[in-house]
Each structure stands twice: as structure tokens, then as C-alpha cells.
Amino acid sequence: MAHVIEKAPTGRAKCRGCGGKIAALELRFGERLPNPFADGEMTHWFHLDCAAFKRPAPFLEALAATSERLLDAERLESEARRGVAHRRLPRIAGAERSPSGRAQCRSCREPIAKDDWRIALVFYEDGRFAPSGYVHVRCSRAYFETADILPRLQRFAPDLRDEHLKEIEQELGPSAPE
């Protein structure tokens, strides 16, 4: 079966991208995968935003095929296309101040100091997102090939406040054309 965009019939499914509930009647993305435990397929459900950010290629397939009307199809498509073009972008899983000085930045290889802003990374394999380390916020351009990542950080770190976002924006530096 093909990947799908459909209205959630109930509010029971959880999003694989953020762990949150998908509300009843909200449009959701379903990624079809081979079922490792039985014949046939299983479906992993995502919020549309989480799918565009974290599973861009299958999301674009479903978007091209769907007959549902999405309110912000253009924005979602453009974010998903950026995630295909810059293949590390879908690894973004949030931002936080480092609680310790133990992690090493996967971009510059320097330690991430306690209280430095860092971005959490996940690696997708066999239908799962596995935690896969951190990069300094200030290393974003070097690591992701773009610093235009604020919508992703907000999506996966919804507790960030305005003053946090300002600090993060400063570390990201000016947006440059890609």
C-alpha cells in the first residue's frame, strides 16, 4: 500500500515524530512499512508537520497523491523538499541548554559546555528514531548546510520561550540564501 494522508478517525494514535497525540479528525500522515513480525505491512502515523520535517521523502509521495485539501500544503512541501536536499535536517529532534559538559559536538568535535545551546539529533533506521548525539546550535550551518532551522527547533522543543528563541537565532547567525 502507498503512504497516505487522511483524517484521523480517533484521537488515539501517537505521532512517531514528536510522541504527541494526533487529534481526532486532524489530517495525519501514514508511512507504510513492512511488518517485521508478520506478513504484510504496518503504518506509522505522524502529524503532518512532523512528517514533513522528519520523513520528507515518503511525505512528499503522499502529498503528491492525496485528494485531501491541506491548509498549508505549500509550506509543508517546501520544508520537506529542504529536508531531502539537506539530508541531515530530518535528524533535528529539538534544542536545549546542555545540562552537562559531557557531550561532544558531532560537527566540530569539541565538547559542548554546560548551558551551551545544543540541538538533539536522531538517526532513522528500520522504522525507528534512535538518539544520535548533539551539535552546537552555532555549528548548525556547518552541520546541516543551512541555518534556516528555527521552525524545526520549535516543533520538537515546544517549550522554548521567546527569549530562548532570540538567543538561538543569534547563534544561528543571519539567514543566507541557500
Nearer CB in complex with Zn ion: 139/149: 139
Nearer CB in complex with Zn ion: 22/37: 22
The rounded distance, in Å, linking the Cα atoms of 156 and 160 is 10
At closest approach, how far in Å is the CB of 136 from Zn ion? 3
At closest approach, how far in Å is the CB of 78 from Zn ion? 19
At closest approach, how far in Å is the CB of 11 from Zn ion? 13
At closest approach, how far in Å is the CB of 38 from Zn ion? 26
Strand partners, 134: 105, 120
8 Cβ contact partners less than 8 Å away, ≥ 6 residues apart: 22, 23, 24, 25, 26, 27, 28, 45
Q: Which of 14, 11, 86 is nearest to 53 (CA)?
A: 86
Nearer CB in complex with Zn ion: 80/105: 105
Nearer CB in complex with Zn ion: 33/37: 33
Q: What are phi and psi of 76, to 5 degrees?
A: -65, -40
Nearer CB in complex with Zn ion: 38/68: 68
Tell me which residues touch Zn ion (CB under 5 A).
15, 17-18, 47, 50, 105, 107-108, 136, 139
At closest approach, how far in Å is the CB of 1 from Zn ion? 22
At closest approach, how far in Å is the CB of 6 from Zn ion? 16
Our separate counts of H helices and E strands in the chain read 6, 6
Nearer CB in complex with Zn ion: 105/168: 105
How far apart, in Å, are the Cα atoms of 57 and each of 23, 52, 170? Answer: 24, 8, 30
The rounded distance, in Å, linking the Cα atoms of 168 and 117 is 7
The rounded distance, in Å, linking the Cα atoms of 174 and 41 is 44
